[in-house]
């Protein structure tokens, strides 16, 4: 589907728009990820979500940085911005501030988000702008062929640390929950597609910064990181709650189910810090947190008014 003359600077869909979108309206070119890459599952879930939510392609924006996961915008018929390493969040923030009506999605890898982009990540959480942010975490730098990333498990070997990673990995969930104004924090996995979809659906429904960590397998370089979790469902615990995510069909496979109120920040932090099991579900959700695009939103100005205000500001610095 074309954008029908619309652009990121301009038009949205009229209130009386009666179009219906199907999967073909969102599917782009064939994804070029490796066979067995978890990114395929995430892309499928996102395409389903866009179709179910009926988000107009011309009002939907995907922003990415650099890495395997960052090819995401190329495979969708929405607007997309393929940026530079670690800078997806500043680009998304600028787009959302200028066009708060857009449906904004951000896709980052673990190196993209937790290393070079870590400073932007922390402040984007604090800004709490309305966007869905997906961290596709495979625990390795995949695009540059097997270097240790901030989330690589300790002792896991790579080309840069062949004797194994020296340090314990950063925990994206604990880090996010420790930032002021966090409003939606969840974790899911690419090999549990029903849970993946339900989690992204909850994230898209939230008005604020929805941070979703997706445990994502890399069949080339880090398949062993999540192999035990795939083969041993008892290592996983599902967090369920009416205000979170629940997929009853999964509970016959994943026997460890915990009732967790996502409004309890202290409990969320304790669950994230506990390493006894990997937990899938919504750890924290607080829709009352302020959003930057609302607190900073100004009334629309004409072109002439903008010029006048700009001249007034520049006159302050005249010598």
State pTM to two decimals: 0.89
pLDDT at 302: 84
Domain boundaries, the chain: 23-289
Q: What is the pLDDT of residues 19-53, one digit of tens each?
A: 999 999 999 999 999 999 999 999 999 999 999 99
What residues in the chain have per-residue pLDDT under 50? 1-13
pLDDT at 250: 97
Percent of the chain whose predicted confidence (pLDDT) is above 90 = 85
Task: Show the 3-state SS of the chain.
Answer: CCCCCCCCCCCCCCCCCCCCCCHHHCECCCCCCCCCCCHHHHHHHHHHHHHHHCCCHHHEEEEECCCCHHHHHHHECCEEEECCCCCHHHHHHHHHHHCCCCEEEEEEEHHHHHHHCHHHHHHHHHHCCCEEEEEEECCCECCCCCECCCCCCCCCCCCCCCCCCCCCCCCHHHHHHCCCCCCEEEEEECCCHHHHHHHHHHHHHCCCEEEEEEECCCCCCCHHHHHHHHHCHHHEEEEECCCCCCCHHHHHCCCCEEECCCCCHHHHHHHHHCCCCEEEEEEEECCCCCCHHHHCCCCCCCHHHHHHHHHHHHHCCCC
pLDDT at 8: 47
Fold of 23-289: Rossmann fold (3.40.50)
pLDDT at 236: 97
């Amino acid at each position: 589907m074309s954008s029908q003359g619309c652009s990121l600077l301009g038009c949205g869909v009229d209130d009386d728009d009666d179009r219906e979108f199907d999967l073909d309206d969102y599917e782009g070119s064939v994804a070029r990820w490796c066979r067995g890459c978890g990114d395929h599952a995430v892309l499928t879930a996102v395409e389903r979500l866009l179709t179910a939510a009926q988000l107009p392609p011309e009002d939907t924006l995907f922003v990415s940085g650099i890495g395997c996961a960052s090819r995401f915008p190329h495979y969708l018929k929405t607007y997309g911005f393929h940026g530079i390493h670690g800078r997806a969040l500043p680009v998304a923030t600028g787009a959302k501030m200028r066009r708060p009506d857009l449906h904004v999605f951000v896709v980052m890898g673990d190196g993209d988000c937790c290393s070079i982009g870590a400073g932007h990540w922390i402040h984007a959480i604090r800004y709490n702008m309305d966007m869905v942010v997906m961290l596709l975490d495979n625990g390795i730098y995949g695009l540059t062929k097997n270097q240790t990333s901030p989330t690589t498990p300790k002792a896991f070997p790579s080309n840069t640390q062949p004797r194994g990673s020296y340090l314990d990995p950063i925990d994206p969930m604990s880090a996010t929950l420790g930032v002021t104004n966090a409003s939606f924090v969840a974790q899911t996995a690419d090999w549990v597609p029903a849970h993946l979809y339900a989690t992204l659906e909850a994230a898209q429904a939230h008005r604020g910064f929805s941070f979703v960590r997706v445990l994502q397998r890399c069949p080339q370089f880090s398949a062993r990181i999540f192999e035990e979790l795939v083969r041993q469902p008892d290592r996983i615990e599902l967090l369920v709650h009416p205000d979170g995510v629940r997929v009853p069909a999964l509970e016959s496979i994943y026997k460890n189910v915990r009732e967790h109120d996502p409004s309890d920040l202290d409990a969320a932090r304790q669950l994230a810090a506990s390493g006894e099991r990997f937990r899938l579900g919504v750890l924290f959700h607080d829709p009352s947190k302020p959003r930057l695009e609302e607190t900073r939103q100004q009334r629309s100005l004409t072109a002439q008014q903008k010029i006048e205000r700009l001249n007034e500001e520049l006159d302050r610095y005249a010598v």
